[in-house]
Chain A
C-alpha cells in the first residue's frame, strides 16, 4: 500500500493557466443523477457489507427501490423544467432491470456513464481480469442499451483498486469522477493514454447533505446556490466546474424536490453558465485544455529544487 495514490501532482489554486470554456462561460455546470440498482441479496465482499441488517434488509432495500419507482420521475421533471440534461452515473444492470428509465433518459439526450454493474458489487479485492471484466461489461451494456460509448466512470459505491485509473485510460475512458481534489479538471497520471479528473462532489451531493449532514431540503438548496455563487465568481478568472450529484431515492421525495428545482432555476438563470454534460466538458477539455494544463504541471515539476 502507498501513502500517496500517485494519481496527480500538487497544483495550487493560484497562478494556473486560465481555462476558457466555450462562449466565454465562467462555469461548466452538470448534474449527475445516480441511477442505481441495489441487490436484495448480493454476494459477500469481505471488505464491505452491502446492508446493515441481516437478509432481507427490507427497510434499506425498499428505501433505495423508491428511487426507481417514484423519485426518479420527480427529479427528471424538475430537470426538464430547468432545461438540464442528466449525465447519468449508471449501475449498468439497470439496462436489464429497468430499461424503461434508460429509454426516458436517451429520449432526453442524457449522457450515460458507468457506476459499475450494481451498487452492491464492490471493486475491493478484484484482480485485473475481474476489473477489466466490469469495464468491458459496462462498455458493452451501455452501448447496447443507449448507443453511447461511455466516456466516464464513477466506481461502484466508490470502491477502487490501485490499477483502476490505468485501466480506465486504457479502455479510452475520458474522465473519472472518483477524485475530489479540485474544482477544475486535472490530468490524472496513468500508465498509458489520457484521463482527467472531473469535478463531481461529496459535498453538494444529496447523500452527503441528507444522510451525513442531515440538511433540511431548503438548507440543501442553499448549499447548492452558495457553492454556485463562489465557483461562478471564481470562474470569471478561469473556468470552473460544478456538479450536483443526485440520487432519486433521496432527492425525489415530494418534500425535497422543490428545493432542488429552485436551486436549478437559480443556477440556470445566470448568464455565462455552460449547462452541459460531463462528456461535453471532458471532450472540450481534452481538445482545448489538457496540453495547456499538462505543460503547466510539467513546468512546475521541473522547477522543483
Chain B
C-alpha cells in the first residue's frame, strides 16, 4: 500500500499558522500592562452547569461526562444531576462566603429545566455564559448550517431569556466546533468564546462576521482533567493550582497581567469530600497580593481596553 504523491505536498507550509483564524504570537512579547486597579493576576472561576441526557446521540462522539452503561444509565444521569442540585449550591455558598464572583457556562437545557438555579446564580452576581443546548447535542461539521444555527439560537434565546443577562460568552459543549461555529457566534452577539486551549491571554479570532475574542479556559488545570482523567488526589489538584498561581504571579512582575482560568464542575469538585480542598484553595488564592477574581466579560472588556 503506497501513499499517494500528494501526501508529500504541503500547500499550507508557510509563515504563521496553517489557517487564517489567528496569527502566531509569542506569549512573552505581549506588552506588559496591569489589570484594573493594578491587579497582576486575574483568577477566572468558570463553573459548568451541564445537562447530560439519558439518551445521548453520541454524534459525532460522546461528550466527556456522558452516559456510559446501557440504557437507562441512572447511575451516571443522577451523579451528573447531583451537581446541578447539591454540588453547585455548595459552591455558591463557598463563593459567597469568600466574596468571589465568576462565570457559569450553562447548557440551555439546565436553564429551561431549573430556572431557579439560574436565578440563584445571577442573584449572587455571577456571569452567565452560553454552553450550547445540552451535552448530547454537539457542534460539529456533520451538521448543516441551519441545524447548527438553530442550536446556537436555542442556547442564546433560552439563556438570555431565563437569566436576563446579555450573555456575551460561549463555551461549546465538549469544546467541539464546526468550522462555522465562530461565525455563527459572532453573528449573534457573542463577544468571546473559550474553546481553544492554546493560550493564557485573550487574542482576536477572525470570523467572516467579525472578530471574536478567544479567551483562555484551561484544559490542563480543570478539575475534570486532573481529578478524573489523571486520577490525581485532591491535594495534588490544589498543589498544581497553587504552583500555577505562584509561577504566573512571578511572571507578572516582568510580563504584566496574567490569567489563571479555573474550570470547575459541580458534580466533581462540589462533592462533600472535595469541597474542603476547594475552600482552602480559593481562600488561599484570594488572599494573594495582586489577585483579582473576575468574570469572563470583565476580563474581556479589560483586555480590549488595553490590548
Contact = CB atoms under 8 A, between A and B. Distances in A.
Q: Could you say which interface size class chain B belongs to?
A: 35 or more
A2 B225 CA distance: 40
A36 to B, nearest CB: 13
B178 interface: yes
Contact of A59 (B15, B197, B200, B248): B197
B85 interface: no
A256 B236 CA distance: 12
A58 B196 contact: yes
Interface string B12-51: 1111111100001111100000000000000000000000
Interface stretch (A18-26, A97-105, A107-115, A265-273): A97-105
B243 A258 contact: yes
Contacts of B140: 54
Interface stretch (A38-46, A173-181, A182-190): A38-46
Interface in A99-152: 99-100, 117-118, 121, 125-127, 130, 133-134
Interface in B64-108: none
A290 B62 CA distance: 53
* Most chain B beta carbons < 10 A, residue from A41, A43, A45, A118: A43
A65 interface: yes
A60 B113 CA distance: 32
Contact of B1 (A62, A125, A133): A125
B175 A58 contact: yes
Interface in A31-80: 37, 39-41, 43, 45-46, 52-56, 58-59, 62-66, 68-70, 73-74
A56 B198 contact: no
Interface stretch (B2-10, B124-132, B149-157, B267-275): B2-10
A96 B198 contact: no
Nearest to B218: A253
Contacts of A93: 10, 13
Contact of A54 (B28, B141, B175, B240): B141
B221 interface: yes
Contacts of B146: none
B177 A125 contact: no
B144 interface: no
B240 A217 contact: yes
Interface residues of A, number: 50
A68 B248 CA distance: 18
A294 interface: no
Contact of A97 (B8, B14, B142, B244): B14
B220 interface: yes
B61 A53 contact: yes
Contacts of B236: 216, 218
B247 to A, nearest CB: 4
Interface in B151-188: 172, 174-179
* Most chain B beta carbons < 10 A, residue from A52, A56, A121, A256: A56
A8 B160 CA distance: 66
A255 interface: yes
Contacts of A264: none
B199 interface: yes
* Most chain B beta carbons < 10 A, residue from A130, A210, A254: A254
Contacts, number: 141
A162 to B, nearest CB: 14
Contacts of A118: 10
A253 to B, nearest CB: 5
A293 B202 CA distance: 55
A65 B240 contact: no
Nearest to A67: B198
A125 B241 contact: no
A74 B219 CA distance: 18
Given A46-B1, A65-B198, A97-B15, A117 B247 contact: no
Interface string A75-98: 000000000000000000100111
A97 B199 contact: no
A214 B232 contact: yes
A43 B7 contact: yes
B26 A45 contact: no
Nearest to A95: B13
B12 A39 contact: yes
* Most chain A beta carbons < 10 A, residue from B18, B174, B240: B18
Nearest to B142: A54
A100 B26 contact: yes
A63 B1 contact: no
Given A40-B19, A96-B15, A255-B244, 5 more contacts: A70-B199, A97-B18, A121-B7, A125-B1, A217-B243
Interface of B: 1-8, 10, 12-19, 24-28, 60-61, 140-142, 172, 174-179, 195-200, 219-221, 229-232, 236, 239-241, 243-244, 246-248, 251
Interface of A: 37, 39-41, 43, 45-46, 52-56, 58-59, 62-66, 68-70, 73-74, 93, 96-100, 117-118, 121, 125-127, 130, 133-134, 210, 214, 216-218, 253-258
6 nearest CB pairs, A to B: A65-B198, A255-B244, A62-B198, A254-B247, A62-B196, A214-B230
29 contacts: A40-B18, A43-B6, A54-B60, A54-B142, A55-B179, A56-B177, A59-B175, A59-B176, A59-B195, A59-B197, A63-B197, A70-B198, A96-B15, A97-B13, A97-B15, A97-B17, A97-B24, A121-B7, A125-B2, A134-B8, A210-B230, A214-B229, A216-B230, A216-B239, A253-B221, A254-B244, A254-B248, A255-B241, A258-B247
